[in-house]
Amino acid sequence: MGRATVHDLARAAGVSLATVDRVLNRRGGVRAATIEKVELAVDRLGYRRDAAAATLAKQREYRLAFVIPTGVNSFLVSLTAEVRKLADALRNQRVFLSIVEVPPFDGEALVQALDRLQSQPLTGVAVVATDHAPVRLAVGGLAARGVGVVTLVSDAPGSGRAHYVGIDNSAAGRTAASLMGRFVRGISGRVAIVAGSMLQRDHAERRFGFEQVLRTEYPQLTALPAVEALDSAAVAETALGIELDRHPDIVGVYSIGAGNRGVLAALRKRGLAGAVCVIAHELTEHSRAALADGSFAAILCQDPGHEARSAVRILCALADGAPFDAGHERIHIDIYLRDNVP
C-alpha cells in the first residue's frame, strides 16, 4: 500500500480536501467533532506530511519531552502508548518526542526530572503534574528558560505553565455526583470516595466537585472522607473494605483514581457488587467488564490520544509564537453506561 495522501484522509474522514487542509494547518472554522475525525484518520492511515508541511518548510525542529508517571494506572499506560505512537508518526516532520518516566505520586522525583530537563535543548515539555510547591517552582524554572510547558491530565496553576491539557476535573466530579444521585434516587446513605492522592490536583478537584453537588442537590447522601489508595488495587481493596465494614449504610462508591480493580474486589468479597452504585473513571479492560456485568453503573472517560495530540499541537504553536484554537484543544468528558460502551 502506498503512502497515504490528503485525498485518502478526506475519504476516510468523510470531509472535503479544504477541511483536511484547515485541520492539518491548525486553522479555525472547523467543528471539534470534524477535527477529531480527521485526526483519527491521520492516526489510522499513518499519514505523513510532505516537505511542504509547515515545520519542514521552516526547517525548524521541535524537541518535546513528556514527563509521565509509571506504574499500573491503565490510563497513564495508554497515554504513554499514544505518545510513543505520535513519536513514530511525527519524526519525519521534525517533531521529536521523548518520554521521561517518573515514579507515581513522588513529588521529589518529579522535581528532579524537571530540573534535569533544564539542561537539555528542548522546545517544550508536557508534564503530568502534582499540586506540590517544589513542582510548581520546577515548572517555573523551565518556563523562565524559554521552554513552553503544558500540564497534562493534572494541572499546576500558578506554576508558569502556558496551558493545561485535560478535562475539567471539577466538572467531572460534579457529573459523577449527579449520576450517583440519579441512580440511587430516593435512597439515603453514605458514599465512599476512593482516590489516588489528594496531592494530585485532578483528584482533589474531582472530589470537590462531587461533594459540592451531593451537599446542594442530594442531601440524603453523605460523602465519607476520601481514602487514598495511591492507584494500588490492593490498597484500594483494603481501604474500601474497612469503610464498607464500618458503614453498612454505604449505598455508593466514587472511584476517582485507578483503584477500580480493588474497589470491585472489596465489593465482590462482601456480595455487594451491583447492589452498591459505583461511578468510576477511565474505560479499561476491568472497568469495561464491570460495566457489562452491572457491577459499575457508569464510567467517566477522557481520550488519551486527543490529549497527547493536543499537547504536541499547543507546544509547537507556543514555540512558533502562533495562536491555537482553545476550543479545538478542549478535552471532553465522555460518559459510558453499559448501553453505550464502545
**Residue 7 belongs to what domain range?**
1-47
pLDDT for 3 equals 67
Distance CA 296, CA 145 (A): 46
Tell whether 267 and 196 lie within a shared domain: yes
> For residue range 91-100, what is the model confidence (pLDDT) as tens digits?
888 899 999 9
Decide if pLDDT at 4 tops 90: no
Return the minimum-mean-pLDDT range out of 130-134, 161-165, 296-300, 337-341. Answer: 130-134
Q: Is residue 108 part of a domain?
A: yes
DSSP state of 169: H
DSSP H or E segment with residue 98: strand 95-102
Tell whether 220 and 124 lie within a shared domain: no
Q: Sorting pLDDT into bands at 50, 70 and 90, what band is 57? A: very low
> For residue range 281-323, what is the model confidence (pLDDT) as tens digits?
999 999 999 999 999 999 999 999 999 999 999 999 999 888 8
Residue identified by cell 473513571 is: 281
CATH number of the domain at 36, please: 1.10.260.40
Give percent helix, percent strand, percent coil of the chain, each to the nearest 5: 45, 20, 35
Tell whether 70 and 139 lie within a shared domain: yes
Q: What does the pLDDT average to over 268-280?
A: 98
Distance CA 262, CA 240 (A): 8
- Decide if 207 contacts 256 (C-beta within 8 A): yes
Q: Sorting pLDDT into bands at 50, 70 and 90, what band is 52? A: very low
Q: Is residue 292 part of a domain?
A: yes
Decide if pLDDT at 21 tops 60: yes
